[in-house]
Amino acid sequence: MNDKKTTYTGDIIQGIPVINNLNINDLEQNKVYRFMFQGSAMNIGQPWFVPLLVARGAKAGKSLLLNTGIHGDELNGIKVIQQLFAQLDTSQLAGTIIGVLQASPNSLVHINKNWLLSTDGGDFENMNRLFPGKENGNSAEQHAYLLWNNLWRGNVDYMIDLHSQSTDTEYPLFVFADYRNVLAQQMAELIPADQIKNDEGEIGTVETTFIQHGIPAITIELGAARIFQSDYIQRTLIGIRNILAKFGFSNNQITDTALSNNTFIGNQMISIRALHGGYTEMLVSIGEDVNYDQLVAYQINQFGDIIREYRTPTAGKVLSVGTSAIREAGGLLVRILYNTPN
């Protein structure tokens, strides 16, 4: 339950009212709202602002949070939210949909996975390891605290966090879901994804923080960074509409799902990373089945001599690959999704 009221600061940004607290129950039904949510402050004293869409249905119901922009080079999710809201008919909606665009505006500005700090010569934080944040932490921790406490907490019954792989790497349409939460499993399998990982999560992520607070949540990874990829965007929209139908937000029919898409579901993944710097030749593609000890990549030096070969430590399915032809030590080459007995 949210016991705070929606608080308007009185500021207007790009014609949009600024709020520093949201209570969806304050908002009229059968209407779509646009807000700028006030986050933590920059070193010059000016706040960061998070664009926010809120659709209130004509009928009462549950609430779904669609969040994106935690990592600043992951853009497909922004298009998902924009398209969903452009096509929403609130007269046919029961409940509320919250769309958070650019959740980490600092990261978006820098087109960077991390929130860049200017204190003491510069540092950085991965926003997706900081939740629920710290009231008196650094600017990234404070921003996470404000998102959790003033925007999300008390307003959300279901949550989907939209990501993609990082720059110079790529996923298919892929879902992380903690199958110990039955509703999270149902949500994941309503997405016509290529692959799903039954995953216990990681402390500090948006998804795991919601799960820890008893709110069903999944993370959807859409392809590659820095671009819009229509197939992944459209299939994610199909999955979200399936979730809206399943959980009573709409009267739509459930269409393509993980079952109909023959989605591969695994419970373990392993990353093969470069052990040396050099030019990289990838020998496998996303979605390809691989065998134990299969050669999947090699590196050459500046003269074209092979300096390192990389083989699979397990059989499975290729989940992610490095897309850059150059890799230094530690860079991702291949990630494999596979299954082990429970």
- Report if residue 299 sits inside a domain: yes
- Report if residue 247 sits inside a domain: yes
Residue 329, domain extent: 268-338
- Whether 172 and 289 map to the same domain: the answer is no
Average pLDDT, the chain: 97
CATH number, residue 97: 3.40.630.10
- Whether 327 and 228 map to the same domain: the answer is no
Q: What whole-number distance in Å separates Cα of residue 113 and Cα of residue 165?
A: 10
- Whether 165 and 274 map to the same domain: the answer is no
pLDDT tens digit string along 187-211?
999 999 999 999 999 999 999 999 9
Please tell me the pTM assigned to this model. Answer: 0.97
- Whether 245 and 257 map to the same domain: the answer is yes
Of 212, 232, 264, at which residue does a domain stop?
Answer: 264
- Whether 160 and 108 map to the same domain: the answer is yes
Token look-up 């590196």 returns 299
- Whether 246 and 114 map to the same domain: the answer is yes
Give the CA distances from residue 44 to residues 48, 49, 226, 244, 247, in Å, rounded to whole numbers and listed in that order.
11, 14, 28, 42, 44
- Whether 163 and 284 map to the same domain: the answer is no
Peptide bond before residue 132 is cis, with ω within 30 degrees of 0: yes
- Report if residue 1 sits inside a domain: no
Give the CA distances from residue 339 to residues 97, 113, 122, 167, in Å, rounded to whole numbers and listed in that order.
35, 29, 41, 27
Q: What's the pLDDT band for 120 if we cut at 50, 70, 90?
A: confident
Q: Which amino acid does the sequence have at 124? A: F
- Number of domains present in the structure of the chain: 2
Of 220, 241, 264, at which residue does a domain stop?
Answer: 264
Q: What is the pLDDT of residue 128?
A: 98
- Mean pLDDT for the stretch of residues 133-149: 98
pLDDT tens digit string along 209-262?
999 999 999 999 999 999 999 999 999 999 999 999 999 999 999 999 999 999
- Whether 203 and 147 map to the same domain: the answer is yes
Q: What whole-number distance in Å separates Cα of residue 96 and Cα of residue 59?
A: 9
Q: What whole-number distance in Å separates Cα of residue 230 and Cα of residue 223?
A: 10
Q: What's the pLDDT band for 2 if we cut at 50, 70, 90?
A: confident
**Other Cβ atoms within 10 Å of 342 Cβ, number:** 6
- Whether 255 and 207 map to the same domain: the answer is yes
- Whether 249 and 170 map to the same domain: the answer is yes
* Contact present, 311 and 295 (Cβ < 8 Å): yes
- Whether 33 and 140 map to the same domain: the answer is yes
Residue ranges of the alpha helices (H) in 223-342? 230-246
- Whether 14 and 136 map to the same domain: the answer is yes
pLDDT tens digit string along 82-106?
999 999 999 999 999 999 999 999 9
pLDDT for residue 342 is more than 80:
no
Q: What whole-number distance in Å separates Cα of residue 68 and Cα of residue 78?
A: 6
- Report if residue 127 sits inside a domain: yes
pLDDT for residue 119 is more than 90:
no
Of 203, 238, 264, at which residue does a domain stop?
Answer: 264
pLDDT tens digit string along 265-297?
999 999 999 999 999 999 999 999 999 999 999
- Report if residue 2 sits inside a domain: no
CATH number, residue 330: 2.40.50.100
- Report if residue 249 sits inside a domain: yes
Q: What is the pLDDT of residue 1?
A: 64
- Proportion of the chain above pLDDT 90, given as a percent: 97
pLDDT tens digit string along 158-184?
999 999 999 999 999 999 999 999 999
